[in-house]
Amino acid sequence: MLTIALPKGRIASETIEIFKEVFKKDFDFADRKLILQSEDFRFLLVRNQDVPTYVYHQAADIGVVGLDVLEEQGLDLVRVLDLKIGRCRVCIGIKESEELDLNKPSLKVATKSVNIARNFFAQRAIPVEIIKLYGSIELAPLVGLADMIVDIVETGETMKQNGLKPALTILESSAYLVANKNSFYSKKDEILSLYESLSTAVESRN
């Protein structure tokens, strides 16, 4: 029996679709239920950013989570498979009228992804002040809170509607299947067998 943490929303639905295809069974969460028990799997519906925590603490053996969340949190997990769903980019966004200039003596960067942003600028020895925000990141450059933002871009439409543009891609992200290290070693056969089945399904879908 494997417990699988799924992030609420579109990635959960798409992952469930892949499981349906692979195992020829219906895996549907009943209304508002957070646990779905089937013969071989127990699915948990959790918030996107909480998936690594559930897996790291072994409340779930495996989980599905965006690479951007994995990189941001940096927890020690087994990286099993790129499911090639939930694709997005982590980008630097600036005002549409401006050009990206990383040579200014001081830069203010607003972001939810503090660690990704800090690592990116630190690797390039660019001194920045990181301003942590929890939402509406696009607002920051418009009201003078920051010179630029580091944010997730799917189509670029949100930035565009707010007078911003993606200027540089920091990370290409998609949803990954990850595993707890102890679960991986103690349930290796189950997890590798699931990897094989899902890998074949992902390849045929792409």
Partner 1 sequence: MIYEHEIPKDARLYFGSGAKLKRDIEKSASEVFYRYGYEEIVTPLFSYHQHGAVEDTRELVRVSDEENKEIALRADSTIDVIKIITKRLGNTTDHKRWFYIQPVFRYPTKEFYQIGAELLGSSKTDEVLGLALEIFEILSLKPVLQISNIKIPKLLQERYQVPLSVLKSVNVEYLSKEVGGWVESLLYLKSPEQITDLCEEVPSDISDELLKIKELCDSVSYEKIVVAPLFYAKMRYYEDLFFRFFESNLELCLGGEYMADSMEAAGFALYTDNIIEILQKG
Which chain residues interact with partner 1 by CB under 8 A? 57-58, 77-82, 180-182, 184-186, 188-189, 192, 195, 199
CA 107, 108, 109, 114 torsion-angle sign: positive
Nearer to partner 1 by C-beta: 126 or 185?
A: 185
Question: Could you tell me the smallest distance in angstroms from the CB atom of residue 119 to partner 1?
Answer: 14
Nearer to partner 1 by C-beta: 115 or 186?
A: 186
Question: Could you tell me the smallest distance in angstroms from the CB atom of residue 142 to partner 1?
Answer: 38
Question: Could you tell me the smallest distance in angstroms from the CB atom of residue 3 to partner 1?
Answer: 12
Question: Could you tell me the smallest distance in angstroms from the CB atom of residue 136 to partner 1?
Answer: 33
What does the alpha-carbon distance between residue 187 and residue 25 come to, in Å, rounded to a whole number?
22
What does the alpha-carbon distance between residue 50 and residue 177 come to, in Å, rounded to a whole number?
14
Nearer to partner 1 by C-beta: 50 or 151?
A: 50
E strands present in the chain: 2-7, 35-37, 41-46, 62-66, 78-82, 88-95, 107-111, 128-132, 148-153, 164-173, 175-179
